[in-house]
Structures are given as structure tokens and as C-alpha cells.
Structure 1
């Protein structure tokens, strides 16, 4: 792609935010987009946000479970950036007017105490670099109309990231077997789906290693203090006005968010 094409795609996404109006898939309106182009668009938009005062707080890994890959018809994970403005306090309320078409996912979040830089990061290095893990909810959202997206569209749109919630229970990495952690996602006190640590690439720590190695391709590394959302343990659930969601994890505790009109 040319810089002009990247700027066009960036403008379309920015206008979607500003006008609060969903747009057609970038992959259908801008021909011949590649995954590399999509990451260029994402990185360009994040750099603009940072230049305007936004603060990067971490990264999110998406499409790590078979459930989410099947939902979008893809066969590989992706990643996006977390900004300080995206964090919602545990138990906080979100107005649906500020979002497009949100869905809820339960995830395990890693908080780093050391930098992680690819290209050959291992699970063992992830474990050493992790300060603690916490229960988390990711509110995914898409600026693309009716969620009619492919991998290129979601990557360009910051991996369909909306907001995130971190639980208050901090667990050090040597106190927990990440692969055996189970999760129940409750919507208005009813279990709507369940998952386990092994549902994300077999091990949540492997997801973080994948991310560090993928970021190396773009000259980016994970930094101490960053939050890493390691991927949804089950498929995403639509959020509607009045809903309360709780992601309840064995060992880890829970994260909660509410939705108003």
C-alpha cells in the first residue's frame, strides 16, 4: 500500500469514531489490503493517538481461542494496543452510547515487571517477566458494520478493541497453574459460557510469548508495567442496556462490568 492508502484507511476509521457511525469493511472498500498493511494502519493510528496525548498501557491478544477464530473465520491470532482511556474500573458502568456494537470476553491479564522483546521469547521468559496476573474482561467493539470483518479489518481497527476491566485480585505467577484456570462468564447472574486456560493456544503464557515475537516484526516490544490481555477463554457475548457481566475465575477471582443506555 502507499502512504496515501494508509492515510485513507486511517481517515475512514477516525471518522467512524468522530461521527459514531459504523463503516463498511476496509477490506471491501480499499482493494488488495494485506495483513502487513493492516498492522501499518493500526500502528499509524496509535502513533497519532500518542502524539495527541494518549498513553499506551499495554497490548491485547485476540483470536487465540478456536471459538473466536471460528466466529471470525480466521486461523491465527492478532494483537492491538490498550490505552489508558480504555480502562474501566472493576465493577464500573459503561454507557452503550459510547460504543458501537460491544461484546464481552473473559480473559487472564498479565502485568509485566520486565521488558519482553522478540524474536525468540519463550514461555519461561514470560513467566519470569510477569509481576502478577489478574482476572479481566475485554469489551471488544467494531467500527465495521454488523461485525462483517475478516482478519485484515480487525487488525486495522486495533484488533476490535473497545475497553477493558481488570479485577482487583493480584496473583503472582508461581501461585497459579495458568493452564488449569477455569472461567465462567455470567450475564445477569446466569452462566452464558465457560472456558479454561488451555483454550488459548494451550497456555495463556504462550499467547504472551507469541505476542512478544510478533511485535518484533514491527520493531515493538512489551514494556515493564504493561497490561497484556492474553485472549478470550470463550466466545464473545453481546452486551445490552441493563446487563451486568461477571467473569469468574478459579483461583484468580473475578472482574465485573455493568452497561447502561
Structure 2
């Protein structure tokens, strides 16, 4: 893809989000699209959101589980940017029509107290820079069709990355924990939709340790001269499959001693 094509795709995604509609698969429109192309499109989308007055508050890591990587035939996670209008309080009700096709994932959020960067960052450096960890839910959405209606071709990793890693919202639980005092590999959740258990999982589903996800992100950002800043929130990756969130649904994630978090979606 050319720089002009990156910008055009970023604008198309921005307008799709603004207007509550979906665009066609970028991977079909640009068959030779690379991961670098996808992140360039994401950067163009992020630039439009900043120009519209939105403020960056952190990052999300996606595709950390083996099952999701196998499904997309990749061997690496992806990342996206969190903005201030994506943050919802625990127990919030999402207004009808806010998202196109929302889904929910359970994750452990890292709250950063100090900057951390560098291609050789260590696990210890990440822990030193982390103020606390907290239970959270990520709201996913897609401004790109999940599948092309004419060919049946499903979206691929370049589509997802371009679309800000399908990022749409974050719901933070109220509980805060010292990351060194909790074995995050065993921090898990029971996720219910409308009172019915839909998914369960453990932090170990995220690259064997959620901290590993943060290390991966810092090293990836270092390739672009970036890093994590103090005060940012980082979603470390889901340890459950995405669960559809239709209008009128309610989600409760029970993390046991680690905490709890909930969100509901208003009826259409």
C-alpha cells in the first residue's frame, strides 16, 4: 500500500465508526497488504481521532491466546490504542446504538505509574513501572465486515489491526492489586451473560503470563520509537473467547478474590 492508501483507509474507518456502519475488507481491496501496512492504516485512524479531540489513555493487546492465533493463522499478538471516550465505569449501561456489533472479553488491566520503553525491556522493568492491576472487560467492535458477503472471505489479521485491533471500550473494575502480590497466571474469571455462564479462563491463557503481553507491547512500540507512559492503562489480552453483546444484555465477570466487573447494553 502507498502512504495515500494508508490515509484513505484510515479516514474510511474513522468515518465508519462515526456513522455507525461497516466498510469492506481492506485485505480484499489490497491483497498484498502487510502488517506494516495495517499498522500504518491504524496510525492514520488514530490521527483522525486525535484531530477530532480524543485523548489517548493507553493501549490494548489482542490475539494473545493460542486458539485465536491459530484461527487467524498468525503467531503474534496485535495492539491498538485506547481513547478517553472508550472508558466506562464498572456497572455502566452502554447507550443503544453506541457500537455496531459489540462483543465482550475478560482481561487484566495494568495501570502504569512510570514510563517504560525499549526493545530490551524486561519483566522486572514492567512490574516496576506498574502501579496496580485490575479486573476489566474489553468491548470489541468492528468497523470492517467480519466476512465479505460476495465471496464469504473472512477478515484477517491485517483487517483487525487496521481497525484499531477491534478496540471499542474498556470497563475497569474498582479493585486494585499489587502486581507482585498476585500470581496473574492464576487470576481468572467466570463471565456471565444475562446470568448464564458463557466463558471461563485463567490469566495463563495470555502468553502464559499477562506480564509477558506487556513486555511484548513495549518491545513492539520500541520499533516505532514509542513506549508506555505514566498514567496509561494497558489491557493485557483476553483469556476468554469474545462473547456477543446484543442490545438488552448484561455481563458480569467474577474474578474471585481478584474482584468483579460488570456492564450492560441498553435495549434498542
Query: Which TM-score bucket, shorter chain as reference?
Result: over 0.9
Deviation at 1:197, TM superposition (A): 1.1
Cα distance in 1 for partners of 2:163, 2:64 equals: 17
Moved segments of 4+, more than 6 Å: none
Q: Tell me what 1:233 maps to.
A: 239
Using the TM superposition, give the Cα deviation of residue 19 of structure 1 relative to its aligned residue in structure 2, in angstroms. 2.9
Asked whether the equivalents of residues 96 and 259 of structure 1 are also in contact (C-alpha less than 8 Å), the reply is yes
CA contact (8 A) 1:74 1:150 kept: no
The alpha carbon displacement at 1:87 in A equals 0.7
Distance apart, 1:71 and its partner CA: 4.2
Alignment of 1:59-78 (within 5 A): 59-78=59-78
Unaligned 5+ segments in structure 1 are none
- Structure 1 CA distance, aligned partners of 2:206 and 2:5? 34
What is the number of equivalent residue pairs in this alignment? 261
Matched, 1:84 2:84: yes
Asked if the contact 2:11–2:45 (Cα under 8 Å) also holds between the matched residues in 1, the reply is: no
- CA positional deviation for 1:251: 2.6
- After TM superposition, the structure 1 = structure 2 runs for residues 198-213 of structure 1, keeping only pairs within 5 Å, are 198-213=204-219
List aligned pairs for 1:89-108, cutoff 5 A.
Answer: 89-108=89-108
Give the counterpart of 1:222 among 199, 212, 228: 228
From 160, 176, 183, the counterpart of 1:177: 183
Match of 1:256 in 2: 262
**TM-score scaled to structure 1, two decimals?**
0.96
Q: Partner of 1:159: helix, strand, or coil?
A: helix
Give CA-to-partner distance per residue, 1:126-162, whole Å, 9 cap, x none: 1111100010000111111135321100111100001
| Preserved CA contact (<8 Å) 1:63 1:78 | yes
1:89-124 residue CA offsets vs partner (Å, 9 max, x unmatched): 110001341111111000000001111102011111
Aligned partner of 2:118 in structure 1 is 118
Partner Cα separation in structure 1 for residue 241 and residue 71 of structure 2: 8
Q: Who is 1:146 aligned against?
A: 146
Instruction: Tell me, yes or no, if the aligned pair for 2:106 and 2:191 is still in contact at 8 Å.
Output: yes
Residues 1:132 and 2:129 aligned together: no
Shift of 1:248: 1.4
The reply to whether residue 52 of structure 1 matches residue 58 of structure 2 is no
Please report how far the alpha carbon of residue 88 of structure 1 lies from its aligned counterpart in structure 2 after TM superposition.
1.0
For the 8 Å contact 2:118–2:222, the answer to whether it is kept is yes
Q: Name the SS of the counterpart of 1:10 in structure 2.
A: helix
Instruction: Work out whether residues 140 and 163 of structure 1, in 8 Å CA contact, stay in contact via their aligned partners in 2.
Output: yes
- CA RMSD for the aligned pairs? 1.4
Deviates more, 1:39-48 or 1:57-66: 39-48
Deviations 1:14-43 (A, max 9, x none): 231233221111110123211001111111
SS at match of 1:174: coil
Q: Distance in 2 between matches of 1:67 and 1:104?
A: 17
What SS does the aligned partner of 1:207 have? helix
TM-score by structure 2 length? 0.93
Contact 1:110 / 1:229 at 8 angstroms: preserved in 2?
yes
Q: Evaluate the alpha carbon distance shift between residue 240 and residue 188 of structure 1 in structure 2; reply closer, same or farther with a 3 A threshold.
A: same
